Every structure is written in C-alpha cells, then in structure tokens.
Chains A and B, each alone.
Chain A
Amino acid sequence: MNPADTTAKPSSLTHAPSPIGRGKFCEVSLTLPSLLWLLFFFAVPAAMVFAIAFKTADSSGGIGSSWTLETIVEVFNFNYARIMWRTVWVSFAVTAICLLLAVPVGYWISRQDKKYKNWLLLLVVIPLWTNFLIRIFAWRLLLHPDGIIRTALVSIGIIPEDVFLLNNMTAVIIVSVYTHLSFAILPIYAASERFDFSLLEAARDLGAGRFRAFCLIYLPGIKRGIITAFLIVFIPALGSYAIPDLVGGIDCELLGNKIAFRAMANRNLPEAAAISVVLACMIAIPFIAFVFGGGRKRADGGARAETEAISRQ
C-alpha cells in the first residue's frame, strides 16, 4: 500500500458528472463495510471502555452499578504521573531513534537502481514474517548476560563488567526500535520515492551545501512521510506492553503494563479502563494535531517554497 493513495482525490470528484444519487450510493456502499467494522470493533468497544472508567468497582472483580468520577481523578496522582512521564519519554526516544535511522535508509533505497529497490524493500519487511513475540525472545537470547553480544563487549572493554544489556530501559528501547523500524522506513521510502530529486540539484546549483540542501529541501519534501512514520511508531510505542514486560527490568513498567496489572492482578476493571482512557487521550492529541495541523498540505509544497526561498537569497 502506498500511503500516497490516501491523499488522492476521491474518485467521485474526478469523474464526469454522474447522477448525484447513484454516485452517493456507490460511495456509501463502498465505505459501509469498513465503517461497520470500525463501528463494531473500534467505536463500540472504545465507548464501553470510556463508560467503564466512570463505573465503581466491586471487590470480587466485577463492575459496580453506580457511577463515579473518583477513578479518573485517581489516575492523575503522583505515581501515575511518573509512569506516564516514563512512557512518554521512552516513546519519544524510540520514535526519534527510528526516524534518525529510517530517513537515511529511506533516502538510500529510493536512490538505488530499480532492479535492487524491491529486493531492498523485501529485506526491510522480512523480519515481519516472524512472530513479534518470537523476535522479542530472540533478543532475550542475544542480550543474555552470558550471551554473545555482552561477552564480546565486556571482553573488548567497551562496557564494564557490571553493566547488563537485558532487563533495563536500554533493552526496552533497543527492542522497541528494532520492532518499529520497518514501519518507519516504509512511509519515508514512499515519500522519498515521490520526491523530485532535481530540487536537490537546483538547491546545490543555487549554492546550498549538501547538508543544507538535505535539511532544507529534502526533509521538508518528505515531511508527510516523516509525520506518518512518527505516528506509526509513536502511537504503538505509547501503548507498548509486551516489550517492557519481556525485556524490561524492575524500573520499566509503562502504562500498558499498568493497565494489564489493574485488569488481571487487581481485577479492577474501572481503574484499568480509566488508565486506558488517559492513554487514548495521549494518543489522540498528536493525531488530532496531525489531522488539523499541516498534515493535509500537499507533500512537496513545502520543498518548492524552500527552493524559492533559497533562490531569492
């Protein structure tokens, strides 16, 4: 799937004028399945979670019959704030590292000969053929205290004897970056593929250095790809549960783990729901900013404006 497809104008607008009723009918019937899917498997469960967040809990693990605001207020206490902060900074770190790695890779692949491009893309996607959990367990073996990587690093003296690679935040970040990297490379590659590289040459002709041209022309030119990559990494990272649970240490509990703990061990569904609501809001904020912010502008518009700016200087 090319993300660019979603930016194409709706087909009904480009067609020759057709009877309005029929076009509308087509449009509705085409969207209906996905709409129903979203309604039943997203909107309704999400609404239920929102509702449960305002219910009382009973001691046997059920949901009480009366309503309360206390649970949601409780979520803003100090302990949660620390875990929220931890979740946000880890997610930002993971997203930033993913983008730093994905932009050069996306650039490089899109500059390759057509013959190799598909093979390179295949290499990006191949890790996804193996189950996500199996790959995390594989990382546990790689980062094992007596494993090959740590033994090597300790024997060359890069890390001291008392530093471990597993069961800490570094492990969580490494494995999260690994897990999400493919998803960051693909949209950046797609945007880069549509980028008009003659603009870079134009910038060079007008006196911009390589680095300056890259930053001022290329990066704004693939802005849409970068934003998509950001969202596609940041949002799942905020909700991550399995990675901190399996490779994290005693200090690595994130919001996802807290929700699981409340739902399973404490059997307090309203509190689990209340944290989920807060998490959902945290996810909604960058997304809404994207939709109502610059996200809808045409992708290469920015780059052209920048070229003009350079040429004017």
Chain B
Amino acid sequence: MKKIAAYLCAFAALVCLSACGPSKPTLRLYTWSDYLDLDLVKEFEQKFDCKVVIDCFDSNEMMYAKIKAGGSGYDIIQPTTYMVKIMAEQNMLQPMNLDNIPNAKYIDKSYIDRFAYDKTLKLSIPYMIGYACIAYNKKQLGQIPDTWGVYDTDKYGKRLTLLNDMRETIGAALKYKGYSLNTRSDKELAEAKEVLLRWKKNVSRLENEAYKGGIASGEFYLVQGYKGDLFQVLDENKDLDFMLPREGMSLSCDDWVIPVGAPNKELAEKFINFMLEPANNAKNMVFTMYTAPMEEAMKYLPDDLKNSNKIRLPKEIMEKSEMIEDLGDDNAKYIKIWDEIKAD
C-alpha cells in the first residue's frame, strides 16, 4: 500500500514538473505525417529557444472537423488549397504579418498567379506541390507508354489500382479525354464515366493507402498514387519506376496557414519564414520528395535531383495539369457518376 502511495506521489510530482517545468514557448503544428525534415525542426528549436510539437492528420476533412470544434490551440496548420478556401471563407484563418516572413518573396510568381488561393500570400503561403501519377513494376510490365490509356489495356493482368477518390479518379479519365478535371459539363462527365467503366474491367481495386505496400510486394503491377508516397516506395524497390501521363495530372498544394486563436502567432511566422528559407526548403524537398514552388530553392538540391523530373514536373505536363477545385453544388454531378461507377 505504502509503495503504491509512493508511486502515486512520484507520478503526481512528475506531472507537476512537466506541466510547469519548461518556461520556453511552445509552437504547436498540425500537419501531414513525414512532411517536415525533423533536423530542421530541431535547428529551429535551438535557434529560437522554443519547443515545437507536431500533431498529424491524415485527411483535410479530419483536420477541419477538429479545428472547427474549436480550442485546438494550434499555431500552424498545413491544409490543402481547397481546404484553405473553405477555412478562409469561414473566417477560421488569420492574416500573417509578412514583415516577419521576408522569405515569402521567393515563392514563384508564376505559381502564385496560376494557383495560389490568396495572391497576396497573407492568408496562405504555398509549401509543397504534389500530384497523383503512376508507379509501375518495370520488371513485370517492361516499358509502358506515358498515358492514362495504360488502364485501357487488359494485358497487365488485372493487377492495377486507381485511387479511391472521386475527384482524382474521374479527373484522370477526364484528362485522358483531354478535358479539364474541374469540368461542369454533363457531356464531358458522361464520356469520363464511359472511360472509367472500361478501365474498371482491368482494375483490381480502388485503393488510397495499401497501394504502397501492394506495389512493393508485387500484388499490384501498376498503381495511381500520390507522388511523395510513390517515390518513397521507389526508393525501396528497384524494380519499380514512375510514369507521368502526358495528358496531365491533378496537382495539389499544401499551404502554411495560421488559424484564428493561435497562441504564438509571431513565433509561428518566424517558423514559416525559417522553413521558407531556400536552403531549408530544398532540404524539405529532399525529405518529402515533393516540389516546392520556389525556383530559388532548386539551387540547393543535390545534383542528382536538381534536374530530375522526380522533383521538377516537365513544363509541358505542368501546363496541362490542374489543381482540383471545389465545385460547390456541381460536386453532386461527380458524386452521381461515382456512385454509378461503383454500383455497376
């Protein structure tokens, strides 16, 4: 009994110590897993004498629900652009003081003009661009053509997967047909549905997560997936290669934002500025294998990546690629054909 009491006391003391011990400011980040080089985070902690706590989310929707419920106490979040728009429209974000973020000037103008939600960068600053492309097993399939049409052939033996994501998957079919993946046209969507019904016969699963393990283990020979994920698997298995469909792909970008009610706004701005430093941004690119919209940072990449299309999307493909936009009420059109494809 005494022993238990002693343990309890020791535990209580520990709780007290950890609660009131560090007087250092704490910066709380809410982001995707493996999305920041932790060495850089440590460097920031030392430089600014603070503590950085990172929490992860695995979908924008989950993050949104948590922030919407209130009282989360996060200083920085990294939502995808479409979610930035929703959050900004609901006044969940606060403008940043760009005097504290001078490195924002390095963000490519061409990117801002074409894609950024807030062209002034006050509400959101782009961090990394990703896209959904294709990884395949070159030992099993040999060379494959660089087109979404790979899903139209049955010679790959039904070991293909598409993403289980309405906009990404219908988007791939729209791109294959040469249409915008944000189309609102019923005719174009009907054509995309025909394409997908054809592809469906050659596809074994719609898969958002297990495609990584699936292609690594040889269960699948060709998968549609997100760039960062695929390149991690490519590193592990030398039989695999990637393919960028010439018709274009979906782009997405995660932005730095500061939510309303952030406890350490100024420190958050310093953190964003630190990460946007071109040399640091390059380190994050190497770590995540995503692409920062910052030409200035490319100089600091290791030689083998500097001009590799692993980091740089070829210009012709970039021009044909688009960002998925929130379509408001027309979203229902996509839901309808997605339901029909799944029910068929």
Q: Mark A268-300, 1 if CB is under 8 A from B, else 0.
A: 000000000000000000000000000000000
Task: Contacts A83-B343, A167-B204, A167-B205 given; indicate if A146 touches B219 (C-beta within 8 A).
Answer: yes
A162 interfacial contact with B, CB 8 Å: yes
Q: Which residue of A lies closest to B339 (CB)?
A: A79
Query: Which residue of B165, B200, B203, B343 has the most chain A CB atoms within 10 A of its CB atom?
Result: B343
Do the beta carbons of B219 and A59 come within 8 Å of each other? no
Are A250 and B203 in contact, CB atoms less than 8 angstroms apart? yes
Residue-by-residue, is A145-188 near B (CB-CB < 8 Å gives 1, otherwise 0)? 11000000000000000101011000000000000000000000
With A79-B340, A167-B205 as known contacts, state yes or no: A145 contacts B90, CB within 8 Å.
no
Query: For residue B59, which residue of chain A has the nearest CB?
Result: A264
User: In the bound complex, do residue A60 and residue B206 qualify as a contact, i.e. CB atoms below 8 Å apart?
Assistant: no
Provide the main secondary structure of the chain A interface.
loop
Asked if B218 is an interface residue, CB under 8 A from chain A, the answer is yes
Interface 1/0s, chain B 55-88, versus A by CB < 8 A?
0000101001100000000000000000000100
Which residues of A have CB within 8 Å of B65? 61
Which chain A residues lie closer than 8 Å to B165 at the CB level?
A: 265
Complex Cα–Cα for A82 and B339 (A): 11
**Chain A min CB distance to B196 (Å):** 10
**Cβ of B246 under 8 Å from chain A:** no
**Contact A60:B86 (CB < 8 A) given known A145-B159, A250-B203:** yes
CB nearest neighbor in B for A166: B219
Task: Look across to chain A and name the residue whose beta carbon is closest to the beta carbon of B326.
Answer: A59
Cα A171 to Cα B204 with chains together (Å): 12
Contacts of A78 in B (CB 8 A): 343
With an 8 A cutoff between CB atoms, is B329 at the interface? yes
The distance in angstroms between the C-alpha atoms of A266 and B166, with both chains bound, is 9
Count, A-B residue pairs, CB within 8 A:
52
Q: Which residues of B contact A265 (CB under 8 A)?
A: 61, 165-166
Say which residue of B86, B157, B200, B217 sits within 8 Å of A250 (CB atoms).
B200
**Chain B interface category by residue count:** 20 to 34
Q: Which chain B residues lie closer than 8 Å to A266 at the CB level?
A: 335
| Interface: A193 (CB within 8 A) | no
Please name the residue on chain B nearest to A82 by beta carbon.
Answer: B343
* B320 interface residue per 8 A CB criterion: no
Give Cα A255–Cα B217 distance, bound, in whole angstroms: 30
State whether A61 and B64 are in contact (beta carbons under 8 Å apart), knowing that A167-B204, A249-B204 are contacts in the complex.
yes
> Which residue of A has the minimal Cβ distance to B165?
A265
User: In the complex, how many angstroms separate the beta carbon of A209 from the nearest chain B beta carbon?
Assistant: 47
Interface size on A, residues (CB 8 A): 24
B214 CB to nearest A CB, Å: 9
Distance in Å from the Cβ of A164 to the closest Cβ of chain B? 7
Q: Which residues of A contact B59 (CB under 8 A)?
A: 264
Check: B138 CB closer than 8 A to any chain A CB: no
Task: Give Cα distance in the complex from A30 to B339, angstroms.
Answer: 48
What is the minimal beta-carbon distance from B320 to any residue of chain A, in angstroms? 26
B335 touches A59 (CB 8 A): no
Q: Are A249 and B328 in contact (CB under 8 A)?
A: no
- Within 8 Å of chain A (Cβ to Cβ): is B270? no
Given the contacts A164-B204, A250-B205, A60 and B90 also touching, CB distance less than 8 Å: yes
Question: Once the chains are docked, how many angstroms separate the CA of A80 from the CA of B335?
Answer: 13
Considering only residues 247-261 of chain A, those with a C-beta below 8 Å from chain B are 248-250, 253
- Asked whether B342 is an interface residue with its Cβ less than 8 Å from the other chain, the reply is yes
| A144 sits at the interface (CB 8 A) | yes
- Residues in B lying within 8 Å of A, measured CB to CB: 59, 61, 64-65, 86, 90, 157-159, 165-166, 200, 203-206, 210, 217-219, 328-329, 331, 335, 339-340, 342-344
Could you give 5 example pairs across A and B, Cβ below 8 Å?
A61-B61, A80-B343, A145-B159, A249-B204, A264-B61
A146-B217, A264-B61 known; 13 new pairs, CB 8 Å cut-off, are A60-B86, A60-B90, A79-B343, A82-B343, A82-B344, A83-B343, A144-B219, A145-B159, A145-B218, A146-B219, A162-B157, A246-B210, A250-B203
